[in-house]
Amino acid sequence: MKSPGFFKNREDAAEQLAERLQEYRGRNPLILAIPRGAVPMGKIIAERLQGELDVVLVHKLGAPFDPEFAIGAIDESGRTYLSPVLEESEEAGRLIEKIKIRQLAELKERRAQYTPFAPPIDPRDRIAIIVDDGLATGATMIAALRAIRDKKPAQLVCAVPVAASDSLEKIRPLADEVICLYASMHFGAVSQYYERFHAVEDEEVIQILAATTASHRNERKLPP
């Protein structure tokens, strides 16, 4: 019998994270969710903190012979992070380049799909809070933090409900603040820490972002 998770679902995790992030409430923080799983969480956190929601698009680079195992990650600009333990070889390098090209094309498709009528929100000089539903290897978060740091936010925060302890230490130097509700030295999979961990589909992400864009357009009285 499966042991209960630490969180009922992503909504529960988001509410608990929002409580820990209350110091940023009312300071117009930019909540940047890593799709797809973190987008419903980002919506709740943005509402609780009176901030804006957008996505930071990064993609895991799966190992050539085990796509589920992350050997690194890539962001929208094509910048990549590769695991320092990755074995260097000419053959591995060629395979990784093919993976990068494929994943970069997918990121471009996702941006066009997720926010077709709005450019990415600029984090420059703002409090940027990057949210994910958990850190296993940390590769995706590392790529996300580096991508947003390049855009010069006033403050860069990483917020996750659960993380592998060693992965958490890898990302600490990349953020001004790291909020993690639970870290484990024997991590396993992110899903183990949730009682319910359903797959978040593209359609749900699109609906959340479309509603958020419309809401901010109304608040600012921008044309449709």
- Whole-model pTM: value is 0.85
Give the per-residue pLDDT at 2.
42
Query: Going residue by residue through the chain (224 aa), what tens digit of pLDDT does each one get?
Result: 344 468 999 999 999 999 999 999 999 999 999 999 999 999 999 999 999 999 999 887 776 666 666 677 888 888 888 776 555 555 566 777 777 888 888 888 999 999 887 889 999 999 999 999 999 989 889 989 999 999 999 999 999 999 999 999 999 999 999 999 999 999 989 999 999 999 999 999 999 999 987 666 556 554 44
Give the per-residue pLDDT at 67.
66
Q: Domain 10-56+123-220 falls in which CATH fold?
A: Rossmann fold (3.40.50)
Give the per-residue pLDDT at 4.
47
Say how far apart CA 127 and CA 116 lie, in whole Å.
24
Give the per-residue pLDDT at 152.
97
Give the per-residue pLDDT at 216.
60
Say how far apart CA 175 and CA 87 lie, in whole Å.
27
